[in-house]
Amino acid sequence: MKFSVDLEKCQDHGQCVFAAPQFFALDANGKLNLRQEAETEYLSAELDESERDAVEEAADMCPVQAILIHD
């Protein structure tokens, strides 16, 4: 399982930080940390199944539905 974040859709609401702080954070400027990793779309490495609940919660919570799960 991987997840991706559409960084053009993302509006840095930071809701994902509450669900999966192990992957998501806001930087000092209030921007999503993953913006430092990619320009338009971030794709995670392969994740352990134990992370699924947290990442799915982050995807569900995202107000703009910018997070996708890839199996």
| Least spacing, CB of residue 36 vs another protein, in Å | 21
Burial class (CB in 10 A: 0-12, 13-18, 19+), 63: exposed
**Site for another protein (CB under 8 A): which residue of 35, 41, 51, 61?**
61
Show contacts with another protein in window 6-35 (CB under 8 A). Answer: 9, 11, 13-15, 17-19
Tell me the residue length of the chain: 71
DSSP state, residue 47: -
Could you give the angle at the alpha carbon of 33 between the alpha carbons of 31 and 34, nearest 5°? 115
Note whether 63 binds another protein by CB under 8 A.
yes
Give me the residues that bind another protein (CB under 8 A), please.
9, 11, 13-15, 17-19, 56-57, 59-61, 63-71
